[in-house]
């Protein structure tokens, strides 16, 4: 099956896709993965929390909101030297990409110079750079592009309707506007979402449709499994998502976005190696790698390397 990247995907067509017999879905998505990424490689992407906590937004799934009592650390934006140390560590561990994130509503004028210095530090270490800095205007997107930033991350998180149930301090349209501003500036877009936070299957389909119909499609698509952090409104509210539902989302994302990196992101610490292997077989070809994500533990790096070796997958090298 050959899937184009320039067609308008409908909700009905995606619904038929995600509800295919499971083995047929997996077989098809695997063929698409092998066609577009024939080297059988996995991308290791490191994540660094450059500014933690005290975020003004009320995202129900996030431990860093000032609205929730989660005991998340509260720090100021770190220095370029601190990020450089993180970049060196990530590179030594085999990562080819470093994403740095800041917990705030969006990038402000007073922070631009410091962020530019952080980008330059990452690039000087030879890593692909990615920034996740909240809402972004056109002029600031251009400033990041001029500084050498490769990717901008801004997830849509869920469907438009369900997103409004999770966040009220900004809108779904605000998120789409930020993604569009990054694209217009020439930045590659990293955009995905979260599953397992009480959304319906239709919400997952609508989220995938929104991602697949972006022009251009996101180059990286992080698929996060909800980590129900104590103190957030979603803690202990929803039962864990079924493993086969995770596989269906990964496989469908691969079919809809054949040339994108589909990244297993948050929640891998709860996934056994067999489920991770099935996700990698079904279409995922990137993981967040390292012992910590933003405020939560990540899958053990040594276990990741063992799994990669057991599956005979090569680690993608730095270009």
pLDDT tens digits along 176-198: 999 999 999 999 999 999 999 99
130 a catalytic residue: yes
Q: What is the pLDDT of residues 106-165, one digit of tens each?
A: 999 999 999 999 999 999 999 999 999 999 999 999 999 999 999 999 999 999 999 999
Query: Residue 137 and residue 122: Cα distance in Å, rounded?
Result: 23
Of 197, 193, 226, 199, residue with least CA distance to 296 = 226
55 a catalytic residue: yes
Cis geometry, peptide bond prior to residue 216 (ω within 30 degrees of 0): yes
Is residue 290's pLDDT more than 80?
no
Decide: residue 313, CB within 10 A, 0-12 exposed, 13-18 middle, 19+ buried. Answer: middle
Residue 296 pLDDT: 64
Query: Residue 141 and residue 124: Cα distance in Å, rounded?
Result: 20
Whether residue 253 contacts residue 26, with contact meaning beta carbons closer than 8 Å, is answered with no
Instruction: Of 32-46, 114-128, 299-313, give the lowest mean pLDDT range.
Output: 299-313
Is residue 72's pLDDT more than 70?
yes
Q: What percent of the chain lies above the pLDDT cut of 90?
A: 81
Residue 1 pLDDT: 46
Whether residue 3 contacts residue 256, with contact meaning beta carbons closer than 8 Å, is answered with yes
Is residue 292's pLDDT more than 70?
no
Average pLDDT rounded to a whole number, residues 100-105: 93
Average pLDDT rounded to a whole number, residues 5-30: 93
99 labelled ligand-binding:
yes
How would DSSP label each residue in the chain? ----SSS---HHHHHHHHTS-HHHHHHHHHHHHHHH-TT-EEEEEEEEEEE-S-BS---TT-TTBTTS-------PPPPHHHHHHHHHHHHHHT-SEEEEEE-SSB--GGGHHHHHHHHHHHHHTT-EEEEE-SB--HHHHHHHHHTT--EEE---BS-HHHHHHH--SS-HHHHHHHHHHHHHTTPEEE--EEESSS--HHHHHHHHHHHHTSSSPPSEEEEEEP---TTSTTTTTSPPPPHHHHHHHHHHHHHHSTTSEEEE-TTGGGS-HHHHHHHHHHT--EEE-SSB-SSSB---HHHHHHHHHHTTPEEPPP-
Residue 3 pLDDT: 53
190 a catalytic residue: yes
Is residue 291's pLDDT more than 70?
no
Residue 319 pLDDT: 64
Whether residue 199 contacts residue 163, with contact meaning beta carbons closer than 8 Å, is answered with no
Whether residue 267 contacts residue 201, with contact meaning beta carbons closer than 8 Å, is answered with no
Residue 255 pLDDT: 98
Q: What is the pLDDT of residues 199-222, one digit of tens each?
A: 999 999 999 999 999 999 999 999
62 labelled ligand-binding:
yes
Residue 318 pLDDT: 73
Residue 207 pLDDT: 98
Which one of 78, 190, 191, 279 is the catalytic residue? 190
Query: Residue 32 and residue 99: Cα distance in Å, rounded?
Result: 27
The pLDDT mean for the chain works out to 92
Q: Please, which pLDDT band fits residue 295 given cuts at 50, 70 and 90?
A: low
Q: Please, which pLDDT band fits residue 301 given cuts at 50, 70 and 90?
A: confident
Q: Please, which pLDDT band fits residue 2 given cuts at 50, 70 and 90?
A: very low
Q: Please, which pLDDT band fits residue 293 given cuts at 50, 70 and 90?
A: low
Instruction: For residue 220, give both structure tokens.
Output: 């990286």
78 labelled ligand-binding:
no
Query: Residue 314 and residue 311: Cα distance in Å, rounded?
Result: 9
Q: Please, which pLDDT band fits residue 65 given cuts at 50, 70 and 90?
A: very high
* The residue to which tokens 């891998």 are assigned: 268
For strands 188-190 and 128-132, give the pairing.
unpaired
Which one of 99, 191, 254, 268 is the catalytic residue? 99
Q: What is the pLDDT of residues 115-128, one digit of tens each?
A: 999 999 999 999 99
Which one of 130, 191, 268, 279 is the catalytic residue? 130
Q: Please, which pLDDT band fits residue 4 given cuts at 50, 70 and 90?
A: low
Residue 93 pLDDT: 86
Which one of 248, 263, 268, 279 is the catalytic residue? 263
* The residue to which tokens 């800095």 are assigned: 133
Which one of 55, 78, 191, 279 is the catalytic residue? 55
């Amino acid at each position: 099956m050959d899937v184009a990247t320039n067609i308008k995907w409908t909700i009905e067509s995606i619904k038929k896709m995600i509800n295919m017999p499971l083995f047929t879905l997996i077989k098809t998505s695997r063929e698409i993965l092998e066609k577009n990424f024939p080297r059988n490689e996995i991308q290791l992407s490191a994540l660094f929390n450059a500014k933690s906590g005290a975020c003004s937004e009320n995202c129900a799934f996030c431990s860093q909101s000032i609205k929730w009592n989660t005991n998340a650390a509260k720090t100021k934006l770190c220095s370029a030297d601190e990020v450089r140390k993180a970049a060196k560590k990530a590179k030594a561990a085999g990562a080819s990409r470093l994403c740095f994130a800041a917990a705030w509503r969006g990038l402000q004028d007073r922070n631009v110079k410091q962020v530019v210095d952080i980008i330059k530090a990452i690039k000087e270490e030879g890593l692909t750079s990615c920034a996740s800095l909240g809402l972004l205007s056109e002029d600031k997107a251009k400033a990041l592009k001029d500084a050498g930033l490769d990717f901008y991350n801004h997830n849509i998180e869920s469907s438009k309707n369900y997103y409004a149930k999770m966040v009220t301090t900004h809108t779904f349209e605000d998120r789409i506007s930020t993604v569009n501003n990054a694209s217009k500036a020439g930045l590659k877009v990293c955009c995905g979402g979260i599953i397992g936070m009480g959304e319906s299957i239709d919400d997952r389909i609508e989220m995938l449709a929104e991602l697949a119909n972006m022009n251009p499609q996101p180059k990286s698509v992080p698929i996060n499994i909800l980590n129900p952090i104590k103190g957030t409104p979603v803690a202990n509210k929803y039962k864990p998502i079924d493993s086969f539902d995770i596989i269906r989302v990964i496989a469908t994302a691969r079919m809809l976005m054949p040339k994108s990196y589909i990244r297993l992101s948050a929640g891998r610490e709860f996934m056994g190696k067999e489920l991770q292997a099935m996700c990698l077989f079904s279409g995922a070809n990137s993981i967040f790698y390292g012992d910590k994500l933003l405020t939560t533990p990540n899958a053990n790096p040594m276990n990741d390397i063992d799994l990669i070796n057991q599956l005979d997958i090569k680690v993608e090298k730095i270009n």
